[in-house]
Structure 1
Amino acid sequence: MSHTQNRSTRLIHGTSQPCEQTGALAPPLVQTSTFVFRDWQEGARRFAGEEEGYVYTRLGNPTVSQLEEKVADLEGAEAAVAFASGMGAVSGALMGLLGHGDHLLCSRGIYGCTHGLLGWMKEKMNVCTTFVDRPSRERLEKAVRPETKVLYLETPVNPTLEIIDLNEVCLWAKERGIKVVVDNTFATPILQRPLEWGADLVLHSATKYIGGHGDVIGGVLCGSSQLIGPIRDQLRKDVGAVLSPFDAWLLLRGIRTLAVRMERHVANAEKIARLLLAHPAVKKVDYPGLPNHPQYRLAQRQMDLPGGMVSFQVCGGLEGARLFLDRLKMCLLTVSLGDVATLVQHPASMTHAIVPEEERSAMGITDDLIRLSVGIEDISDIWTDLEQALHPLSEQVGECGKEEFSCKKSS
């Protein structure tokens, strides 16, 4: 299939072809643990790497391979490797690139479990991490060490939605021979492709937007064949964080509608962000599509669209956040994102609870911060639910300060 086709077309066609044996339109689910050889010589050749072919599903499977090819195509990568979870992809990238005593530079805001993994790597592998606020050439230059091997980024950052200038930091890293890994889960390859800006590896928690329906867990890591090959052939094989064929099949089904879902996610998120900004019980709104976002112009340049995630702070601190969350009726209180339904969570007590309080504060994760994954429901129904949950907090506007609100609205 021609790579000149638009991504929305390649999502449906791309590397997928009707099954040669049956003509089936849907990709076949090869639900098997192992593969039968025609004779001893074929088995020996495949184990020796002298012949292409499948041996054992932990090492490779046609359904999993089709997913890998699809995501690699969308990201503009030579190769991809799928894992049993998004954290499998994070672990594969970091453990594949870092060794004992190496140093890692990392954006200050990252997913809580990624933060936990870095703590484990410090304890077990003596891999030290330096967190950098709003990574830029100047800030990275101050933090780099002779043993720095990797720069790990999220953009947009979870959950504050800060945007990092990929072109600037990737150029800086390449000058020093440092590999750049970008978690692209929030944007998806429909909205942002970090490899085009110079990143070396890009990863996804495919559980989120790629799957899109809350029924599967998986991860994908994309990059050059030189980097992906050893991670697939050694690390994934020996660690065993293998995506099952059935889960790969579900992800292949979900990804076909990714483009149209992202259009609706973004359209709804833009409207919800503006409505929240105008609400008296909301102190601050973080959304890259709002002109008052600090990296608004950068987001316009780097991303095709600003995404479906919105974060905001409510009046009343922790108690205000609790009251808001407990009053939701349609929007679902859960820690995932990227689902067709609108999902809401409290980062400080949920996804980022593992992060020490001092670190959370440095990340900008306050007790009154809410993370909203805007779904594809009718926009009026989403807002009706959010508005009724916010209503009791409107009475606490005075506690937040009128001056703060007037400044926020005019910024």
Structure 2
Amino acid sequence: MGRDLADMGFSTIAVHGGVSLDPSTGAIGPHIATSTNFAAAYGSIGFSAEATVADEVPFAYAREGHPNAAQLEQKLALLDGAEAAVVFATGIAAISGLMTQVLSPGDHLLVSDVSYAGTAEFTRGLLAGMGIEVSVADMSDLDDVRAALRPNTRLIHAETPCNPVLKLVDIRALARVAHDHGAELCVDGTFATPAVTRPLLLGADYVVHSLTKYMGGHGDALGGAVLGRAEPMDRLRREVGVHLGGTLSAFNCWLILRGLETLPIRMAAYARGATQVARFLEDHPKVRSVRYPGLPSHPQYALAQRQMSGPSGMIAFTVADHERFGDGLKDQLRIFHFAASLGLSRSLILEARTEDLRRTTFKLDEAHLRRYREWAGDGFYRLSIGLEDPDDLCADLERALSAS
């Protein structure tokens, strides 16, 4: 399926990876294969679901795999420099699926002290309840990581940039720490995408993405993916993928395939717009601090320059009067939507109160709570910059800041 694109540029792979001309119609774009069943030669499939996931029977029942998923997985693998990919119905399905596959009762998971809320709540709730030991570390501090390792540490899970405070992780250095200890490293690359950072090429064992965000790009399709070496991806598909049934629908695969074609130019546009907005905020008298990897003021700017090909489109900032600014948002903003998620064509703003996150999501010990407050204070606002004119976005924020 698809042509040999391994030696071609990222934008070419984004357009052509995983798809080829339809042999019967000549269509240059993929069809949506809505069928749940696929006929096969007599005797080649049977009652077992797991047994039908084989090379000689590419598709038998859509829960085990279907043409649109296969196209998407091939494109994703090419973009991330992976041997293989497995797609799931959502980003958290991909994360929980990988952890369920890799970890057994008695194993230890070391997870970032600051992470996507779904990851934090799953690992410290349901996963811990299954007999997995879970603890946290500041993944930007290798000494803190080493101190948190245990003899039974099986997996380290990090994000870069991390959600929501945009702290970075040195992937290459963290991979060395993990591998020296006999553990594996998984990196959530949702905020960066392979257009900005490719963790597998820096030593990570797995990369996970919420395809719902930048990868799909239009806010109309849920999806997730795990990427890595072929053998563990095959096991992930045969065991967790088949038996937990977190299958990504054919239509959502098709929508995300469509979105990926413009990923390189969208990420460049997000970065241009976000850089202008971040500079505007940094110069504003009512803004106390701005966290954006594209600004020299970011504490890890040197790492961003070394590890990222661009700064992406996410910004975190604090204001002089948090309460007053928040109260006025609904009356002042004309373009930004107050909404969760990120990576869409529309710009979004979301409030992150430290006390709320400490109580409901992160539940950090005092030492890691102090580290979090160094970045977040008592609370901040997270921006996902879209594809609007940056001058209009700055004017929108100016109205809200002037009223605060």
- Whether TM-score is above 0.5 comes out as yes
Q: Does 1:166 align with 2:177?
A: no
Contact 2:212 2:223 in 1 (8 A): yes
- Pair 1:23-2:22 in alignment: no
Q: Identity rate of aligned residues, in percent? A: 37
Question: What are the superposed Cα offsets for residues 108-163 of structure 1, whole Å, 9 maximum, x if unpaired?
Answer: 11011111101224542221222112433322221110010111000001111111
1:105 Cα deviation (Å)?
1.2
Superposition pairs of residues 287-326 of structure 1, within 5 angstroms: 287-324=292-329
Q: 2:395 aligns with which of 372, 384, 389?
A: 384
Question: CA 1:350–1:184 in 2, change beyond 3 Å: closer, same or farther?
Answer: farther
Contact kept? 1:321, 1:369, Cα under 8 Å: no
TM-superposed deviation, 1:366: 4.5
Of 32, 37, 43, which residue of structure 1 is paired with 2:35?
Answer: 32
- Cα 1:111–1:351 change in 2 (3 A) is farther
Provide structure 2 residue ranges, at least 5 long, that are not aligned to the other structure. Answer: none
Q: For residue 138 of structure 1, what is the aligned residue in structure 2?
A: 143
1:267 corresponding residue in structure 2: 272
- The C-alpha deviation readout for 1:191-249, integer Å capped at 9, x for no partner, is 00000110000011000001101111000110001211111111021111110000000
RMSD: 2.1
SS of residue in 1 equivalent to 2:353: coil
SS in 2 for 1:190: coil
Distance 1:318 1:60, change over 3 A: same
Equivalent positions of 1:117-266 (< 5 A) are: 117-266=122-271
1:76-133 deviation digits (Å, cap 9, x = unpaired): 0000000000001111121111110211112211011111101224542221222112
Q: Is the contact between residue 320 and residue 368 of structure 1 (CA under 8 Å) also seen in structure 2?
A: no
Q: Matches of 1:350 and 1:139 in 2, distance apart?
A: 23
Q: 1:175 to 1:247 in 2, by over 3 A?
A: same
**Partner SS, residue 361 of structure 2:** coil
Determine the structure 1 residue equivalent to 2:44. Answer: 42
Choose from 358, 361, 368 the match for 1:355.
Answer: 361
- 1:113/1:50 CA distance change after superposition, 3 Å: closer
AA matched with 2:360:
I
C-alpha distance in structure 2 between counterparts of 1:133 and 1:340, whole Å: 32
Deviations 1:149-201 (CA, angstroms, capped at 9, x unpaired) = 11100000111111111111101111121110000000000000000110000
Q: 1:367 to 1:318 in 2, by over 3 A?
A: farther
Q: Does the 8 Å CA contact 1:315/1:368 hold for their aligned counterparts? A: no
Secondary structure, aligned partner of 2:225: strand
Q: TM-score, normalised to structure 2's length?
A: 0.92
Of 134-143 and 77-86, the range deviating more from structure 2: 134-143
Letter in 2 for 1:237: V
- State the distance in 2 between where 1:122 and 1:247 align: 27
Are 1:314 and 1:321, in contact at CA under 8 Å, matched by a contact in 2?
Answer: no
Q: Give the counterpart of 1:74 among 68, 76, 79.
A: 79
Q: Is this contact kept in 2: 1:107–1:135, CA < 8 A?
A: no
Question: Does structure 1 residue 343 correspond to structure 2 residue 354?
Answer: no
Distance verdict in 2 for CA 1:368–1:140, change over 3 Å: closer
Range 67-76 or range 355-364, more displaced: 355-364
Provide the aligned length of Structure 1 versus Structure 2.
392
Q: 1:285 aligns with which of 287, 290, 293?
A: 290
Closer/same/farther in 2, CA of residues 123 and 302 from structure 1, 3 Å limit: closer
Counterpart of 1:6, as a letter, is G
Contact 2:88 2:94 in 1 (8 A): yes
Change (3 A) 1:114 1:55: same
Q: Residues 50 and 242 from structure 1, CA distance in 2 versus in 1: closer, same or farther, beyond 3 angstroms?
A: closer
Q: Counterpart of 2:15?
A: 12
SS at match of 2:345: coil
- Partners in 2 of 1:332 and 1:350 — Cα distance? 23
For structure 1, the residue ranges without an aligned partner over 5 or more in a row are 394-411
